[in-house]
Amino acid sequence: MALPDLMDLVMHDPRRLTSLRAVAGEPGEAMPGIENLWRKPVFSLTAGGQPTKDGKASLEDLIDRYRSIALTDGGSGPQPIDVPFTSLVVLTAEALPGAQELGRFLADRIEQRFRDVIDPDIGVTVHVEQSLHATAPVAVYLGHGVHAPPADSRLPHGEVVIRQDAQTAIGQPIIGVNTPGGLYSGQARFAFSRSEMLTPAVHPDLPGGTIFFLGRYPVDASARDAGGLPLLTALPQTPEARAQAIQVETLALPGGNVDARFEILGVRPQVGRVSLGLVDVTLDRRPSRLQAQPPKGPHLAVTGLAIPENFGGRRMARYWVERSHGGRLLSSAMLAQRDSIVVQGRDARRYDRRELRYSRVGGEFRAESMSFDGRRRSLLRLEDGEFGYIGLPREQTPIAFGPDQSSRGYGTFDWLGEAVRVQFGSGVVERLDDLYDHNPVGFIAAAPDGVAVQSAGDIWLLGGRKPQAAGTCIIPPNGPFVLGPLVVELREATP
């Protein structure tokens, strides 16, 4: 795809592409054939719930015509490029026995057609489900705010909760029959509304005629605001006065695991501006989540990383550590990127994500290679500060890294995959959590005056000349130790 010219960038309004809806067929008709959906001009685009004058198009044409903009740096400075939307939601009037097959078919077609401009780290996701309020045989959604839940039945780690007030929660935005709209691993943005005429994720108690967009648009200066947390924006889709009057205000945090709270404000006749409800955003509700601030009670501070230099015979070439505001690890795709630490051998450099250039490092961190019983690891240690904090379980709990299949129990440290990506000598780049299996690295619990650990082979004591296998022991406060790929320290002991 060609680079957009300057006028394209000046005229580009990402808000128009928050959630595009295209429908195929007339109410009551059968759904068009799968091949026809992809190749034939059967889709009509709608805007604000009304058909546009753009004419009909195939799904292939829609993806090619309505595209996002991304910045890349090939060594000569940042350049904008067109990229397709690779996350689609398909809602059908009737339940399809072959819904997963249709999703895989469309994902394969998109990958084949646009393979040269698809980020392999992101890939293509297509979610197919029956609609509760279908007005056409099939509707397809794409845009900045559309995220297709993974097809492997993984539950969302975080959530967006609509509240009547601070005491009363009334539900989450739902896709189709009963699929939570968010927040899933890798989900960077989320659009929701009152009606499927606007977005695939809906909640009936939201004000009508408005799309609510959680997150940031590409190349958005607002990423510097709100401490890296996602923003909520109200986007009116009709000229109606009530929709135009909707505003969103950021409120103080209520505590707990809620990362952001917003109030929706509107105007009612003879009353004036009133509160229409609250929206709470929890990036990760699991006990294994990374905290930006020290939680109450015993907890571990993440002070570094210990990345194996070999995975299954493949030698690591370098790795990237993504950070959000405050220097914490980018544990959720919803957080704004601040910078990256790029580690290659003993060299560690800082890459500014906003200015797209490397900057000098003045003693902020250091990298070294160390042997762990004959197996070498790359250690990245912070000289001052922490990457974040982890709540420590009070009972013996298995600790595991790798993709998490559910939100039950303590949870795994799969959020580390959002922050750390490893490149091998072949050039292949993989998320760190994808390089681990589900076997626990050991068991861990808060104990009087320390951390009780029982290693399954990947808990190591630091502080001496060489790392020592932890075995079964009590690690005292402020004593650094390696827990899988993390370097951690206990900062508050159990009384």
- For the chain, what is the HEC assignment? CCCCCHHHHHHCCHHHHCCEEEEECCCCCCCCCHHHHHHCCCEEEEECCEEEEEEEECHHHHHHHCEEEEEEECCCCEEEEEEECCEEEEEECCCCCCHHHHHHHHHHHHHHHHHHHCCCCCCCEEEEEECCCCCCCEEEEECCCCCCCCCCCCCCCCEEEEEEECCEEEECCEECCCEECCCCCCCCCEEEECCCCCCCEECCCCCCCEEEEECCCCCCHHHHCHHHCCCEEEEECCCCHHHHCCEEEEECCCCCCCCEEEEEEEEECCCEEEEEEEEEEECCCCCCCCECCCCCCCEEEEEEEEEECEECCEEEEEEEEEECHHHCECCCCCCCCCEEEEEECCEEEEEECCCCEEECCCCCEEEEEEEECCEEEEEEEECCCCCEEEECCCCCEEECCCCCCCCCCCCCCCCHHHHEEEEECCCCEEECHHHCCCCCCEEEEEEECEEEEEECCCEEECCCCCCEECCEEEECCCCCEEECCEEEEECCCEC
pTM score, whole prediction = 0.91
Amino acid type, 99: A
- Burial per residue of 225-257, b for 16 or more beta-carbon CB atoms within 10 angstroms, e otherwise: eeebbbbbbbbbbeeeebbebbebeeeeeeeeb
Token couple for 196: 């499927």
Per-domain residue ranges for the chain?
Answer: 6-282, 299-490
| Cα–Cα dist 90/140, whole Å | 5
Residue 140 contacts residue 146 (beta carbons within 8 Å):
no
pLDDT score, position 362: 73
| Sign of the dihedral through C-alpha 170, 172, 174, 178 | negative
**Residue carrying structure tokens 């902020």:** 364
Amino acid type, 144: H
Task: Show pLDDT as tens, one digit a residue, over the chain (495 residues).
Answer: 444 444 444 445 778 889 999 999 888 788 888 888 899 999 999 877 777 887 889 999 999 998 887 766 665 666 777 889 999 999 999 888 888 899 999 999 999 999 888 877 778 999 999 998 877 899 999 999 999 998 776 688 999 999 999 999 999 999 998 899 989 988 999 999 999 999 999 999 999 999 999 998 876 544 455 678 999 999 999 989 889 999 999 999 888 889 999 999 998 887 788 999 999 999 999 999 999 989 888 899 999 999 999 998 899 999 999 999 989 999 999 999 889 999 999 999 998 877 778 877 778 899 999 999 999 999 999 998 999 999 999 999 999 998 876 656 888 999 999 999 999 999 899 999 999 887 789 999 999 889 999 999 999 999 878 999 999 999 999 899 999 999 999 987 554
CA angle, corner 90, sides to 84 and 94, nearest 5?
Answer: 165
Residue 398 contacts residue 454 (beta carbons within 8 Å):
no
Cβ neighbours of residue 394 under 8 Å, at least 6 residues apart?
A: 298, 445, 446, 494
Length, in residues, of the chain? 495
pLDDT score, position 19: 94
Residue 241: HSE in the Cβ half-sphere, 13 Å Cα cutoff: 5
| Sign of the dihedral through C-alpha 74, 79, 83, 85 | positive
Residue 299 contacts residue 291 (beta carbons within 8 Å):
yes
**Residue carrying structure tokens 């994902």:** 107
Other C-beta atoms closer than 10 Å to the C-beta of 410 total: 16
pLDDT score, position 328: 94
Cα–Cα distances in angstroms (integers) from residue 449 to residues 146, 247, 360, 423, in the given order: 48, 50, 40, 40
Please report, to the nearest 10 degrees, the dihedral formed by the alpha carbons of residues 78, 82, 87, 89 taken in order.
Answer: 140
